[in-house]
Amino acid sequence: MNPMKMLREMRAIKDLLTDAEGIARSMGDEQPAAEHLLLAAFDLPDGSADRVMRRFGLDRDRLRAAIVEQHAAALVAAGLRPDVADQLSDAPALEPPTGSGIYRSSPSAQEAFQRAGAMARSARRPLAGAHIVAAVAGMEHGTVAQLLERLGIERSALAAAAADELERPAS
Amino acid sequence: MTEWTATVYALTVAEVPQTDDPSAAFAAVVALRRLADRMEREAVDEALARGWTWQQVAQALGVSRQAAHKRHARRTRGRGATQEDR
């Protein structure tokens, strides 16, 4: 890879991780998890995550709302009254990240990011949003898996759509 | 009634559903942990605002002073008095 391309990719990855952290904190979570990385992938310049997710009727705002609904559904399953669960699942935002210090993320975000990076490297192409989608679709358990199940989206279908998107020639 | 006492009340009056599905049980654990984290942050902020020391906060949480400080100091830095040194 030529140095300019490498620099652009490094910048895109830094923006992706910073964006994921900002999204997590805006949703009341201290550290980004796989679902926040997926939301951040919508804004990657290649646009492939957005295109894949829209095939399943999800734009960034709809996915974000579905994550909050997923938290509420889990709280109801834990025994909270639905009205209280709704109120508590939409957590107030934490202060935005300062951008200094060590970058911290949850294990699910690390796993998704590592899976996506491995896919991109094995295909010898820059990391794209669809790699993140494929990576989270490959995770059998966790918030994203539960969320997809609740929305009636097969993980295998999502992974196939991401693979299809990645095979398209770059525009 | 504070938010967390409302939550505890809601928990005590609700009938806790039983599930034998581990995925559903884990999802409930994750959601409750997320809620507990939020309750902890709010309680620590309130305690520090009332002049509690990190030692007192740690004792109340049942963790070491270092653990409490490490978990919350970044967020609470710059607020109130110089609690970090106490």
Domains identified in chain A and CATH numbers: 3-94+104-166 (1.10.1780.10)
Q: Return the residue matching tokens 């505890």.
A: B8
- Contact residues on chain B for A101, CB-CB shorter than 8 A: 74
pLDDT category at B81 given cuts 50, 70, 90 is: very low
Q: Name the closest residue on chain A to residue B75, using Cα atoms.
A: A95
Mean pLDDT of chain B: 80
Q: What is the pLDDT along chain A (171 residues), one digit of tens a residue?
A: 678 888 888 888 999 999 999 999 999 998 999 999 999 999 999 999 999 999 999 999 999 999 999 999 999 988 888 988 988 888 889 888 776 666 789 999 999 999 999 999 999 999 999 999 999 999 999 999 999 999 999 999 999 999 999 998 765
d(CA B21, CA A145): 14
d(CA A7, CA A9): 5
Asked if A74 lies within 8 A of B74 by C-beta distance, the reply is: no
The answer to whether residue A99 neighbours chain B at the CB level (below 8 Å) is: no
Q: Name the closest residue on chain A to residue B3, using Cα atoms.
A: A88
- Contact residues on chain B for A73, CB-CB shorter than 8 A: 27
pLDDT at A17: 94
Q: How many interface pairs between A and B have CB atoms less than 8 angstroms apart?
A: 62
The answer to whether residue A154 neighbours chain B at the CB level (below 8 Å) is: no
Would you say residue B12 has pLDDT above 60?
no
**Which residue from B19, B38, B41 is facing A77, i.e. has the nearest CB?**
B19
pLDDT category at B75 given cuts 50, 70, 90 is: confident
Nearest Cα to Cα of residue B50 among B72, B78, B16, B81: B81
Would you say residue B4 has pLDDT above 60?
no
pLDDT at A78: 86
pLDDT category at B80 given cuts 50, 70, 90 is: very low
Domain chopping of chain B, boundaries: 23-85
Average pLDDT, integer, range B38-66: 95
Q: Name the closest residue on chain B to residue A80, using Cα atoms.
A: B11
pLDDT at B1: 45
Q: Which of B16, B35, B40 to mutate to test the interface with A (most CBs of A within 10 A)?
A: B35
Q: Name the closest residue on chain A to residue B23, using Cα atoms.
A: A141
d(CA B17, CA B15): 6
Average pLDDT, integer, range B36-47: 93
Nearest Cα to Cα of residue A60 among A73, A51, A71: A51
Asked if B15 lies within 8 A of A79 by C-beta distance, the reply is: yes
**Which residue from B6, B23, B34 is facing A71, i.e. has the nearest CB?**
B34
With contact defined as beta carbons under 8 Å apart, do A56 and A158 qualify? Answer: yes
Measured CA to CA in angstroms, residue B43 lies from B2, B3, B58, B60, B86 at distances of: 10, 10, 12, 10, 18
First CA to last CA across chain A, in angstroms? 19
pLDDT at A52: 98
Q: Name the closest residue on chain B to residue A143, using Cα atoms.
A: B27
d(CA A34, CA A36): 5
**Which residue from B14, B16, B30 is facing A74, i.e. has the nearest CB?**
B30
pLDDT at A4: 83
Q: Return the residue matching tokens 């998890």.
A: A33
Measured CA to CA in angstroms, residue A23 lies from A31, A64, B55 at distances of: 9, 9, 32
pLDDT category at B15 given cuts 50, 70, 90 is: low
Q: Return the residue matching tokens 């494929």.
A: A134
pLDDT at A135: 98
d(CA A136, CA A142): 10
Asked if A89 lies within 8 A of B10 by C-beta distance, the reply is: no
d(CA A7, CA A71): 37
